[in-house]
Structure 1
Amino acid sequence: MEQMLRVGVITSTHGVRGEVKVFPTTDDAKRFKNLKQVILDGKEPLELSIEQVKFFKNMVILKFRGYDSINDVETWRQRDLMITRDQAVELKENEYFITDLIGLSVADDKGLELGTVKDVLVTGANDVYVVELKNGKELLLPAIGDCILEVNLEQGRMKVHVLDGLMDL
């Protein structure tokens, strides 16, 4: 399991006083209000203390302590903001971080190995797991109880029921 989780991506600077616009990659952008620190991902990760949080449309505007000029932050575009797993929100039963699902091996309820989870599509109704089959094709599985029977992160496995017609697509 990944020990660092991405919560956002810096898209651009905001103003001249060292603020940055962040596209949140977390379900709840308001969680930035409770974060004290984030880590700027890169060759040499940089721990940043959050001084101020504002919201504008679908973006989060962050100001970091000690970075007071546009010159201090302009090279941070397209860099990820990470948190440690202990800063992550509590998950409910049958909720998982996407990063933990990627790479799980997938078998059906008859024991047939199908492939591995390649991606998770976040839709309005429910997530959809993209499974790369052994033949190179993709299977799209809705993340609903009828399809996803068991997720075992420790063993790196997922047991699924493939609904009629899904393999035909």
Structure 2
Amino acid sequence: MSEKLYNVGKVVNTHGIRGELKVISSTDFPDVRFAKGSRLLLVDADGRNSLEVEVEAGRQHKNVFILKLSGLNNINEVEKYKGWDIKVTDENLIELEEDEYYYHEIIGCRVVSEEGQEIGTVTEILTTGANDVWVAERPKGKPVLVPVIDDVLLKVDVEQKLITIRLLEGLMDE
């Protein structure tokens, strides 16, 4: 498989006896990604086995998504997919608005202040409800939590993997 794959979730368990799967989402748009008709790829841990599937039904349940996949109708058929990753191809990525980014575009970006001070590298994205928070790991010291708000975020260059921020007071407490 030569096309690039993007991780959007992980099968953590089965749900009921009718072939439903419990999925932990790692996607930016779970309501769209796990909607009826979505095309997904189940991939085992070592990447050797995969299965292209279509979502028949999907719903959020507590902190997981419950997916029913077309053609998989009982627990015996889905049991083997526990622990498998859920991926999508480039062609299944959603067109984004200006100033919207995929997680995979942000993770790994260098973060610098508007004065050019090196802050760290984004390693994680936290979804807080009001706004996302990008976690920038520093070579030494505690990570910097960068709120994704206009007052802080000055420029995001995904091509150069560079994010420029305004350091507000208290953002880089030691």
TM-score normalised to the size of structure 2?
Answer: 0.82
Counterpart of 1:64 in structure 2 is 70
Q: Is the 1:18–1:72 contact (alpha carbons within 8 Å) kept by the matching residues of 2?
A: yes
Alignment of 1:95-134 (within 5 A): 95-134=100-139
Counterpart of 2:9 in structure 1 is 8
Counterpart of 2:39 in structure 1 is 37
1:150 correspondence with 2:155 = yes
Q: Is the 1:107–1:113 contact (alpha carbons within 8 Å) kept by the matching residues of 2?
A: yes
Q: Is the 1:22–1:62 contact (alpha carbons within 8 Å) kept by the matching residues of 2?
A: no
Counterpart of 1:163 in structure 2 is 168
Q: 1:47 to 1:168 in 2, by over 3 A?
A: same
Overall identity of the aligned pairs, in % = 35
Counterpart of 1:53 in structure 2 is 57
Structure 1: unaligned runs, 5 residues or longer: none
Q: Distance in 2 between matches of 1:104 and 1:30?
A: 25
Q: Distance in 1 between matches of 2:151 and 2:97?
A: 19
TM superposition outliers: structure 1 runs of 4+ over 6 Å: none
Give the CA deviation at 1:4: 2.2
Q: 1:64 to 1:140 in 2, by over 3 A?
A: same
RMSD: 2.3
Q: Tell me whether 46-55 or 154-163 shows the greater mean CA deviation.
A: 46-55
Q: 1:130 to 1:54 in 2, by over 3 A?
A: closer
Structure 2: unaligned runs, 5 residues or longer: none
2:89 is aligned, of 67, 84, 88, to 84
Q: Is the 2:36–2:57 contact (alpha carbons within 8 Å) kept by the matching residues of 1?
A: no
Q: Give 2:96's aligned amino acid.
A: L
Equivalent residues, number: 167
Give the CA deviation at 1:75: 2.2
Q: Give 1:161's aligned amino acid.
A: R
Q: Give 1:92's aligned amino acid.
A: E
Q: Give 1:3's aligned amino acid.
A: K
Q: Give 2:77's aligned amino acid.
A: D
TM-score normalised to the size of structure 1?
Answer: 0.84
